Amino acid sequence: MTITITAFEQSPDGGKGLARDTRVRWALEEVGQPYEVRLVSFRAMKEPAHLGLHPFGQIPTYEEGDLTLFETGSIIFHLAEHHPGLLPGDANARARAITWMFASLNTVEPPILELVTVKIVEGDKPWSKERLPLVLDRIRHRLNQLSARLGDADWLDGAFSAGDLMMVSVLLRLRPSGILDEFPSLAAYVARGEARPAYQRAFAAQLAINAQPPAG
Ligand code: GTB
């Protein structure tokens, strides 16, 4: 059955792979599932056809036969449940990998998203300069905890899993800020994720659509 995902017609990041279709592409590549991509404009995302797929008018969405999903956590969990490669067979190890998926989305990603909010969405507010250090502190606190848990392991819990795919994807959003470099073990962890052939294929596929044309 054909899998179709949606992605930005032109990602605002110009091909850095930070939009959330990249993590879904990565999961699809890890489990070896071919997929098609329907590109949507910001305007089309808020129109009834897309809202029928995604109630919040966002990308990515996932269509497979009569199944439609939104939310990257749900999409990647679905892929991991139905194809080998992203979740361990042992029941307890599987539950721990799923825990890391939730931890990425519920505990690590929120303060990282606050950085985007304070710098971009609220960047023109008089209080945003005062708020920035608080947001940075919260991120550093989480990264300290995460790097303590990772220690010198390659992945969060044994073999690479959907938990690592999600955590690396979440951490990548920090790359433009430089904060990741303050945590060498996490920077190396992210680099290990990026070095995976499946990530490379996913990154190249989004870059082919989003690369900025050369200036001039
Ligand atoms: N919780 C949802 C999920 O995980 O699927 C969040 C989905 C989401 O935030 N989608 C964003 C979107 O559709 C794109 S990824 N935004 C349009 C809108 O809400 O109107 C977020 C994103 C956007 C841009 C960059 N960038 O330019 O670097 C990075 C990430």
Mean pLDDT on 27-45: 98
Are 59 and 100 in a shared domain? no
Are 186 and 205 in a shared domain? no
C-beta of 101 in contact with ligand 1 (< 6 A): no
> Does residue 215 sit within a domain?
no
CATH of the domain at 130: 1.20.1050.10
Are 75 and 121 in a shared domain? no
Are 40 and 101 in a shared domain? no
**pLDDT tens for residues 41-76?**
999 999 999 999 999 999 999 999 999 999 999 999
**pLDDT tens for residues 120-152?**
888 888 889 999 999 999 999 999 999 999 999
Q: How confident is the model at residue 216 (pLDDT cuts 50, 70, 90)?
A: low
Q: Which of these, 28, 23, 194, lies nearest to 109 by C-alpha position?
A: 23
C-beta of 19 in contact with ligand 1 (< 6 A): yes
Quote the ligand 1 centre to 91 CA distance (angstroms). 32
State the total domains in the chain.
2
C-beta of 12 in contact with ligand 1 (< 6 A): yes
Q: Is the pLDDT of residue 19 over 90?
A: yes
Quick one: residue 178, left, alpha or beta (phi over 0 = left, psi -120 to 50 = alpha)?
left
Are 192 and 101 in a shared domain? yes
d(CA 216, CA 214): 7
**Is there a contact between 97 and 87 (Cβ–Cβ < 8 Å)?**
yes
Quote the ligand 1 centre to 21 CA distance (angstroms). 9
CATH of the domain at 21: 3.40.30.10
pLDDT at position 123, please? Answer: 86
Residue ranges making up the domain that contains 130: 91-196
Are 77 and 96 in a shared domain? no
Quote the ligand 1 centre to 18 CA distance (angstroms). 9
Task: Indicate yes or no: pTM above 0.95.
Answer: yes
Position in ligand 1 atom list of the atom nearest CA 13: 27
Quote the ligand 1 centre to 19 CA distance (angstroms). 6
> Does residue 216 sit within a domain?
no
Quote the ligand 1 centre to 151 CA distance (angstroms). 30
